[in-house]
Amino acid sequence: MNQSVTIELRQWIVEHAAAGFSREAVMASMVASGWQEAVARKALETTWKDPAPVLTQPAPAVRRDGVRHLPDLDLSLSPRQIDAGDRMVDVIASLNQPRVVVLGNLLSADECDALIESARPQLARSLTVATKTGGEELNPDRTSSGTFFARGQTPEVARIEARIARLLHWPIENGEGLQVLHYTPGAEYKPHYDYFDPDEPGTPTILKRGGQRLATLVMYLSEPARGGGTTFPDAGLEVAPVRGNAVFFNYDRPHPSTRTLHGGAPVIEGEKWVATKWLREREFT
Report the CATH number at residue 77: 2.60.120.620
- Given a cut of 90, is residue 128 above it in pLDDT? no
The answer to whether residues 41 and 72 belong to one domain is no
The answer to whether residues 67 and 44 belong to one domain is no
- pLDDT value, residue 139: 60
pLDDT tier for residue 42 given thresholds of 50, 70 and 90? confident
pLDDT tier for residue 33 given thresholds of 50, 70 and 90? confident
Among the candidates 20, 37, 56, a domain finishes at 56
- Given a cut of 60, is residue 254 above it in pLDDT? yes
Highest mean pLDDT among 31-35, 184-188, 243-247: 243-247
- pLDDT value, residue 52: 45
- Given a cut of 80, is residue 283 above it in pLDDT? yes
> In 3D, which of 144, 124, 122 has the Cα closest to residue 241?
144
> In 3D, which of 69, 73, 276 has the Cα closest to residue 165?
73
Over the range 38-76, which residues count as b (16 or more CB within 10 Å of their CB) and which as e?
ebbeebbeebbeeebeeeeeeebbeeeeeeebbbbbeee
Domain containing 37 equals: 1-56
pLDDT tier for residue 134 given thresholds of 50, 70 and 90? low
Model pLDDT for residues 19-29, shown as the tens digit of each residue: 666 788 788 87
- pLDDT value, residue 142: 63
Residue 204 has φ and ψ, to the nearest 5°, of -55, -35
The answer to whether residues 135 and 240 belong to one domain is yes
The answer to whether residues 100 and 82 belong to one domain is yes
The answer to whether residues 30 and 104 belong to one domain is no
> Does residue 285 fall inside a structural domain?
no
Beta bridge partners of 82: 89
The string of DSSP letters for the chain reads: ------HHHHHHHHHHHHTT--HHHHHHHHHHTT--HHHHHHHHHHH--SSPP-PPPPPPPB-TTS-B-------TT--SEEE-SSSEEEEEEEETTTTEEEEESSS-HHHHHHHHHHHGGG-EE-EEE-TTTSSEEE-TTB--EEEE--TTSSHHHHHHHHHHHHHHT--GGGBPPPEEEEE-TT--EEEE-SSPPTTSTTHHHHHTTTS-EEEEEEEE-S--SEE-PEEEGGGTEEE---TT-EEEEE-SSSSGGG---EEEPPEEES-EEEEEEEEESS---
Highest mean pLDDT among 140-144, 198-202, 253-257: 253-257
Q: How, if at all, do strands 145-148 and 124-125 pair?
A: antiparallel
- Given a cut of 60, is residue 66 above it in pLDDT? no
